């Protein structure tokens, strides 16, 4: 007699639409808009906005590619739409700059304008590695859109979107590695990409692995976490390898030293 056996249901994804020919370089960010109709995609030099219902073309809003690639001074590292305002987006660059753009003010966000969030290193802190460690590898809005989180190699900064003069909080994640920057540079670990996001508390991964940064940092009803694209256990045993989900931040200085700028 036939018998029924319970079978676990499995959700599978099916391809609905392909959006092609919008980028010539590695895509580092995708972000859906709160309007439910559009999303953005960003690569090293361009940010495009797409309509989810058609893949015929994309609207370019940021293009920092120079006429002569030898004059390239920065690359785009991350981009995200505001969680509540469909006209607002933010993107970061390898120069340590975060730009908040309003599409109602300017359709092309790479021609100046917008609000800039930047904290340059003081003269006493500048070194051979300053350009690399100041590069912002990830930027995120808080859940209510009132704050921005910006992650560079050494710190996680929390900005109020209405106050661009200075971050309201700076968390030193890798300050203990400042004396080891030369070693990290030689092994390419100084180019690792770190990310930030919301979590139950302010925690995440440092280059040594999981690390709680603080008990709580209220940001619009949420808290913050910062993670590494690859979790490394120790500098000596793992820094020279490329296992896990390793991705590398391609700043201008990194590309020139590694011969990858084209």
- Give the architecture (CATH level 2) of 27-258: 6 Propeller (2.120)
Q: Where are the domains of the chain?
A: 27-258
Compute, in degrees rounded to 10, the torsion defined by CA atoms 200, 205, 210, 213: -60
pLDDT at 3: 84
**DSSP states of 182-231 as a string?**
HHHHHTTGGGB-EEEE--SSEEEEETTEEEEEES---BTTB--EEEESS-
Residues, the chain, total?
262
Q: List residues bridging with 227 in a β-sheet.
A: 195
- CA-to-CA separations, 166 to 76, 119, 126, 170, 218, in angstroms, rounded: 21, 7, 18, 10, 18
pLDDT at residue 151, rounded to an integer: 94
Q: In a structure prediction context, what are the per-residue pLDDT tens digits for the chain, which is 262 residues long?
A: 788 888 888 888 899 899 998 999 999 999 999 999 999 999 999 999 999 998 888 999 999 999 999 999 899 999 999 999 999 999 999 999 999 999 999 888 887 778 999 988 777 777 888 888 999 999 999 989 999 999 999 999 999 999 988 999 999 988 888 888 899 889 888 888 888 876 644 444 555 554 444 433 444 445 555 554 333 323 333 333 222 222 333 444 444 433 444 5
Whether the Cβ atoms of residue 104 and residue 226 lie closer than 8 Å to each other:
no
Nearest Cα neighbor of 153 from 141, 138, 169, 142 is 138
pLDDT score for 120: 82
CA dist 93 and 135 (Å) reads 7
Helices (H), the chain: 130-133, 181-186, 235-238, 252-258
């Amino acid at each position: 007699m036939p018998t029924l056996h319970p079978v676990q249901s499995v959700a599978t994804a099916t391809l609905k639409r392909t959006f092609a020919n919008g980028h010539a370089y590695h895509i580092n960010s995708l972000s859906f808009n709160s309007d439910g109709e559009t999303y953005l995609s960003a690569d090293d030099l361009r940010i495009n906005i797409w309509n989810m219902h058609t893949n015929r073309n994309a609207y370019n809003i940021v293009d920092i590619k120079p006429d002569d690639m030898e004059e390239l001074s920065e690359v785009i590292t991350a981009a995200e739409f505001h969680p509540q305002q469909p006209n607002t987006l933010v993107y970061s660059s390898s120069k340590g700059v975060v730009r908040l753009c309003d599409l109602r003010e300017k359709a092309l966000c790479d021609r100046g304008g917008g609000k800039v969030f930047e904290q340059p290193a003081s003269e006493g802190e500048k070194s051979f590695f300053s350009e690399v460690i100041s590069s912002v590898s990830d930027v995120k809005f808080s859940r209510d859109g009132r704050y921005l989180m910006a992650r560079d190699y050494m710190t996680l900064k929390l900005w109020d979107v209405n106050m661009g003069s200075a971050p309201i909080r700076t968390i030193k994640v890798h300050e203990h590695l400042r004396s080891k920057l030369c070693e990290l540079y030689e092994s390419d670990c100084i180019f690792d990409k770190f990310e930030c996001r919301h979590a139950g508390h302010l925690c995440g991964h440092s280059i040594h692995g999981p690390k709680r940064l603080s008990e709580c940092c209220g940001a619009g009803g949420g808290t913050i976490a910062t993670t590494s694209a690859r979790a490394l256990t120790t500098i000596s045993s793992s820094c020279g390898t490329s296992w896990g989900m390793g991705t590398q931040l391609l700043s201008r200085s990194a590309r020139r030293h590694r011969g990858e700028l084209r």
